[in-house]
Structure 1
Amino acid sequence: MDSTMKRHKLILSIALFALCLPLSVQSYRIGDAVGIIIRTNKHKLEAYRHQMPRFGVSTKTKIETQFLIDAAGNDLKLADGIRLARQKQNPHHHNYEDNTQEELLRMSMQFDEGFHHISTIDVYNPSQRPPRKALDTLIIKFVYSASDGSIHSVQQQTRYRDFQPNGGGRNTMPKSFTVEYVWIEEADVDLESGVLFLFAIVLLVALLGMMDVCCGSEIEENGGTYSTARKAPKSADDFAKRL
């Protein structure tokens, strides 16, 4: 009975595994904006639309360091119109020489609703010995499939430049850095055929398991019949001979 239960559990586990195959969380079309969540050592915020990568299209953008520093709090999401309005109301808001002196700034990015990310990098680190290095270019490579609109993996590469003090002898972090989004298309994989093939294997294993269980039950029943099918001795002589 225990072996039969184990077989049933194994068959059920295989079937559940086949049904719970990981599928693409988000399906994109060429040119769709891919959302970014930026985490710094100060805040968590969402990128503006013009800062986002376009699915399957290699592009470049600039990210201002002041944008990473001045986030008002967690989960900040402001439209570009609001940002421009604030700049008009406070034209001295981007006084980088006053606001970004000798300040450590690190960041990481998450894409595709957090299912892909890059590790934390230094944008500017004042603890380094002069000349300090500031982030010049961040290259993010996406490996994707155009057939199903999915992102398979994300890789990063950084380029730094020596950042010299300004005319007054003070070190300030750079005003901005460039982000390059490079898209590399991976050879199409016939996911539908793969799923059908896996389903056929699961079905075959399930059928074999059911046959094994049925055969085992039939043998056990036959064995019980054989053990109880002894005929009673016809006479006392036959009983004596058997003794």
Structure 2
Amino acid sequence: MSEQIRIEQDGRVLRVIFNRPEDNGVSDSMAAALSAALATAHETSDVVVVSSVGPDFCTGRIRDAGGPPSAEAYARRPEYDAIFNSYKSVRSAQVPVVGILRGRVMGYGTALAALCDVSFAADTATFNIPEITHNVMPTMVMSALYDRVNRNAILWMAYSAEFIDAKQAMDWGIVSQVVAQDKLDAAAAGFLDVLLSRPRPAILGLKEYLRVAPRMDEQAAIDYARALHSMVNTSAAMKKAH
């Protein structure tokens, strides 16, 4: 597993690097390793950066198990847990998750790109949801996109399986920024410098609010904002002189 995914501490940054350049896929065990890293990232880091070795960020999910999947639904369902759990781990991570995307971003890659709190895409990156071309209904990916991307865009991608360019992906809310390919790493590094200059309670509080508030009714979301605002802004770290 250490050969397929690298997890490296870089100061206050935890770097998760998919390292499968022979096919640019992400296996179920790699997704499980991502989940494990994100679950404890806040203990050592202020941000997690997810990137990939090779020409593509991710060309989709790859099953670890040999042989065909079980023909029985209840036996097969747990095979998908690593993927669904990795989606949940990005949403639940206490620190921001930043994606650096280049090349093809397909299926699981598209889901992960949209789930990241901030994502930078090379202007040459392309995105699609190819599952239906393999006679697979792409509800796994859609479970990551349903609250990130508008309904019409999701369904067009799911039905057509066609690639969209990085600018379209940004317009649809899959990525945050599109950058010239030769400036991608520098742009992401510059953003990390800015992020790490912010007080930690605010970094944590912003992600916590946007993880929880959309599930609340209007008054509850306002009340939660009031409480979190008071709690974070009275913390010692917010009072330090810059």
TM band (smaller chain): under 0.3
Q: Taking structure 1 as the reference length, what is the TM-score of the superposition?
A: 0.23
Give the structure-2-normalised TM-score. 0.23
Larger CA Rg, structure 1 vs 2: 1
Larger RCO of the pair (alpha carbons < 8 Å, separation 6+): 1
Structure number with the higher helix fraction is 2
The structure carrying a bigger strand percent of its residues is 1
